[in-house]
Amino acid sequence: MVLFELDQLPCGILTLSARQKILAINLPLRSWLGYSEQFLLQQDIYQLLPPASRVLFLAHVLPAIQHYGKLSGCYLTLRKQNGHQIEMLASGKAIAPEHGAAEPTYQLALLPVPKS
């Protein structure tokens, strides 16, 4: 799927390198977080994760995607540009290397959790 098509989806899409660098982020997720695409590209995912979410990402999210190839329904809190936080429901998968690339990429689909 081409990135501009990802901008039309009703969920956030975040593509990470195997080294946890942001390779792509679609329009809905950028809008919810308030960052520009230029600011986020090639940044570590940890820029967006408050300390507790960093631990969860390293202990659960990343191992699930690396070892099982997928992640189903995990809550992650992300840091918005204005300093506030937004709770998201994340699912993801590993994408096999293409065109001679040495490492897989990881794609996360994210939806904001409604506040009750």
Hey, what domains does the chain have and what are their CATH numbers?
A: 14-112 (3.30.450.20)
Instruction: Tell whether the model's pLDDT for residue 111 goes beyond 90.
Output: yes
Task: Work out the average pLDDT over 64-73.
Answer: 93
48-67 pLDDT, tens per residue?
999 999 999 999 999 999 99
Both tokens of residue 107?
């794609």
Question: pLDDT digit string (tens) for 90-102?
Answer: 999 999 887 666 7
Q: Whole-prediction pTM value?
A: 0.88
